[in-house]
Structure formats: structure tokens, C-alpha cells
Structure 1
């Protein structure tokens, strides 16, 4: 099995303290994440690192410059007490067709929603995605994303730490494998508590994040 899933778009590292986690990533890897932008109204902002090719890492946390959102922040940001890999995304060639196919195979990836954020230069970046983190809150089953005509984050000259491996543990790995198959992707899985981990190649050697 390939240690990097087919059509991987990005990994999500959620943190209760964005500045501290960005500093820790920089210290461990020797690579400083780039500002991504602000999720207006959701109370979060992010920093980004390319994982090589069309994949990237999103480090997301509370935005102290925004007022408290009216609902929960995305990706368990309100619940995490330490930085943790909470989700991953794939980008199918046709988002709507992929959702329909998965549903016909017995898994509902969730409805498709529009999203956007303000980039550091003030422009609006828009995309569509499924609410898969709600449908399968373990984070082990990816949500789906479609950037449409928008410039993909990896096309903006991000600093790079090439992804070497992505894997997960689950109490019932076979059930997760079954759900991944409905999305035409896969992930190395072993039995254990729910968890995602990835390893990147950096100027300071291989570094693993969980």
C-alpha cells in the first residue's frame, strides 16, 4: 500500500494556540509555515506548509483578532488542548460525482458547502467541501474538497516539507478501510486508539507529528 493516500489535498493540524504551534513546527523542522489567511466569522486563521506536489499541511487555530464566533470553530479547535492532527482531505476529479458514488456504496460524505478565507494580500479564496468531519468525527475518513477555478494553496510559493508517510490507528481498522474504499482512497491502518500521524522530510531530518 502507498503510504501517501491517492488524491491527498491536505492535512489538518488543529491547535488551541496557533502562534505557539507555528513556533514549535519551525523549531522542530527548521521550516517556518506561511500565513494562510482568516476564516471570517468562524473565529480561526491558518498557516500553511507544502507537503510536496499538490498536498499541504494546514495548521489551524483560534484567531485572537476576531470576535468569538456564534458557533463552534471548525476542526475541533475549541476542544483540543494540545496540537493534534484531526483530519485530512482528498480532492476528487468531480466532487459531486464522488459524493454520489460514495452514497451509492453506503457512505454519506456529507453535504457540499461553499467556504472562503481572506488571504494575507486581502483577496478572497473560495472553494467547496463536504462536512465529512461531522459525518465521521474520528477524522480518519477524509472530507472532500474542490478548489474549482481558485488558485490552489500549493501554487502560492509555500515553504516545503515533503510528506514521507501518513498513517492512522483505529479500534476497528476494517470498518475505516471499508469507508475509505467508498471514496476510492486508502490509508495505512493499525488497531489502536483513534489517531492520525504523518512524517515529513525536513532540514532537521524526518519529523513525525500526531
Structure 2
């Protein structure tokens, strides 16, 4: 095992819209979160851990209207015009992030598979219990490799967010990644994750199944047009 799924990324037009969507979709609202000065974004988070996906959380992220523009494309494709239009209608699952303690090695091995995982950036955000610090892969164009199916890589420097997140009745049960080259999946060695090719009938680059107070919920990710 070289990496584990760390969190799911739900993009929203605003955090208020994202929280309301979570309440309507899952029966649970995110609470904790903060601001990302590096990218001009802010978030709310909540635990979705399960036996298959320990120390896992869901992140609702949006462009912070009070923050200055970052001077570069934001992470997770948040500046993509098509996604911006889609988010005005509803928040969307866009990505999954995988944590590792071997981030440089995995970046190099993914590059050897003719993939662009992005450059390593250092980020942080304040919380009520202290400063969270991490390194994360972000492409210079702001896009996500393999239409979002290839997880970004994160390496936490200190505590993990789940150490202080309250338990919820929401849990991640299955994650399917579509269209990732087999050799790339062999590099990551992600446990409990299924892979399949993208076909004409199902274009979503990833799908997540969660158990919630409102029952089983299946989310198909927004598909980034070429």
C-alpha cells in the first residue's frame, strides 16, 4: 500500500449552498473548516470514515469571495468555466485525494507513466485546534489528471483533520475510479478502491457510494470536457 483515500472533494458555488446540499442529500451538514490563503478558497469538512476508508472526510470547497485572486489557477478545477456554470445549479463531486508518506516517489512514478500529477505545493489553514499543514499535488493549469479520476496526492505534516472531527452517521462505502491506466493504479496501490474503464454509457470519472441518515447515496463526479 503506497496511498489511502484521504478525502472526497465536493465543489460548490458557495459554502452556504454546499452545506444546504449536504443537509438535503445526506441529512448531515459539515461544520469545521477554514480558509486556504494559497488558493483563495475556503471549505467545510465532516468525517466519512468507515472500516474500508479509515480517517476519511468529505470536503465542501468553494472560491472565497473575500480572498484575493491567487494569481494562478485554483486547485480541483474550480476556475473551469464549465464547472463554474454547473455549480450554480448544484454542488458536484469533482475529485478524491489520497494521502501518502511517499509523495515524491509516487509523483515520479506517475510521471514515468506519462501522467502529470502536478507540482508539490505547501499549504496550511487555521483551525480551532491549531494549524493544519500539508503538501499536495496541483497541476499548473488547475486541471485534474484523467478528468479527475487520478487522485491528487497529499502528505500531512502533523495532525490529520479527522483527529478532531466529530463522528457522523455518514460513511464512505465504495469508490470507483474510471479511466486510470493500470500501471498508475499499481503505483498507488489504493486499498478498497475499484477501477474500471470509462465507456460510452458512464462517463463519470469517479463515483462514490455513501451510507447516510437518508439512506444510500451514489455520487457521480462532474466530467471535465477536454
Which TM-score band (shorter chain)? Answer: 0.7 to 0.9
Does residue 113 of structure 1 match 2:121? yes
Correspondence for 2:137: 130
Correspondence for 1:49: 46
Correspondence for 1:89: 97
Aligned ranges 1:5-16 → 2 under 5 Å:
7-16=4-13
Correspondence for 1:180: 185
Tell me, what secondary structure is at the counterpart of 2:208?
Answer: strand
Give the CA deviation at 1:159. Answer: 4.3
Correspondence for 1:151: 159
TM-score (norm 1): 0.82
CA distance in 2, matches of 1:129, 1:109: 10
Q: Is the 8 A contact 1:42 1:69 kept in 2?
A: yes
Coordinate RMSD, CA, aligned: 2.6
Say if 1:194 and 1:118 are closer, same or farther in 2 by CA, change over 3 A: same
CA distance in 2, matches of 1:72, 1:85: 19
Give the CA deviation at 1:196. Answer: 2.0
TM-score (norm 2): 0.76
Correspondence for 1:71: 72
Query: Structure 1: which 5+ runs fail to align?
Result: none
Q: For each residue in 1:74-107, what CA deviation from the matched residue of structure 2 results, as whole angstroms up to 9, or x when unmatched?
A: 2122332222222212122322232334345554
CA distance in 2, matches of 1:106, 1:28: 37
Structure 2 residue aligned with 1:17, among 1, 14, 25? 14
How many residue pairs match? The answer is 200
Correspondence for 1:198: 208
Give the CA deviation at 1:62. Answer: 1.6
CA distance in 2, matches of 1:103, 1:69: 26
Say if 1:209 and 1:135 are closer, same or farther in 2 by CA, change over 3 A: closer
Say if 1:13 and 1:168 are closer, same or farther in 2 by CA, change over 3 A: same
Q: Is the 8 A contact 1:102 1:182 kept in 2?
A: yes
